[in-house]
């Protein structure tokens, strides 16, 4: 059984998000998780001592991504999801799922990227059950099959990174 994110991510410790969506998270001293034994593939991203790399779909990833978000914007309050923000969040996740090479264009199409971003942060805070429910909601609203939670989480991370890279 994988350790919980609270065992992996002590408060106030940095988490690194890599271009491939993986996260390097701190690990409590003396803990080891072997990617090969956990069913993961060897990584191009090396973990530093006292840390490990986790990928979308692996245990604790959603929680670690939400923690990374909190570290990036410590002055931001709790995420709040509005009805219009949630609709925009669903539309942008669907658009990126359809065309992974055009995240910026999908974010450009939003009327209010900040509201969509807040709705996506709200999804992350809820953990895997929230991501799974959101993926089903996207499929119901936009058509198609629900995205696997690891894919939805990765897309959410890419969209949030794009939104946060823009001037306010």
pLDDT tens per residue across span 87-146: 999 999 999 999 988 999 999 999 999 899 989 988 888 888 889 999 999 999 888 899
Alpha helical stretches, state H, the chain: 5-8, 61-72, 83-98, 103-108, 113-125, 127-142, 149-164
3-state secondary structure of 24: strand
pLDDT digits (tens, 9 = 90+) for 126-143: 888 889 999 999 999 888
At residue 166 the predicted structure's pLDDT band, cuts being 50, 70 and 90, is confident
For residues 30-48, one letter each, b for 16 or more C-beta atoms within 10 angstroms of the residue's C-beta and e for the rest, the string is: eeebebeeeeeeebeeebe
Q: Is 120 exposed, middle or buried (0-12, 13-18, 19+ CB in 10 A)?
A: buried
Which token pair is 46?
């090396």
- Single pTM value for the model: 0.63
The pLDDT value given to residue 13: 58
Spatial neighbors of 139 by CB under 8 A, at least 6 apart, are 145, 146, 147
**Chain centre to alpha carbon of residue 61:** 7
Contact predicate 112/166, CB 8 Å: no
């Amino acid at each position: 059984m994988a350790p919980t994110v609270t065992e992996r991510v002590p408060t106030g410790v940095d988490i690194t998000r890599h271009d491939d969506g993986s996260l390097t998270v701190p690990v409590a001293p003396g803990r080891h998780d072997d990617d090969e034994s956990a069913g993961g593939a060897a990584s191009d991203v090396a973990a530093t001592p006292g840390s490990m790399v986790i990928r979308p779909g692996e245990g604790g990833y959603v929680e670690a991504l939400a923690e990374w978000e909190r570290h990036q914007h410590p002055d931001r309050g709790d995420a709040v999801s509005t009805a219009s923000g949630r609709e925009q969040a669903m539309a942008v996740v669907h658009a990126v799922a359809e065309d992974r090479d055009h995240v910026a264009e999908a974010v450009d199409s939003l009327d209010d990227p900040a509201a969509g971003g807040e709705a996506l942060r709200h999804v992350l805070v809820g953990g895997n059950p929230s991501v799974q429910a959101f993926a089903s909601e996207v499929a119901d609203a936009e058509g198609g099959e629900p995205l696997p939670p690891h894919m939805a989480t990765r897309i959410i991370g890419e969209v949030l990174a794009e939104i946060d890279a823009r001037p306010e």
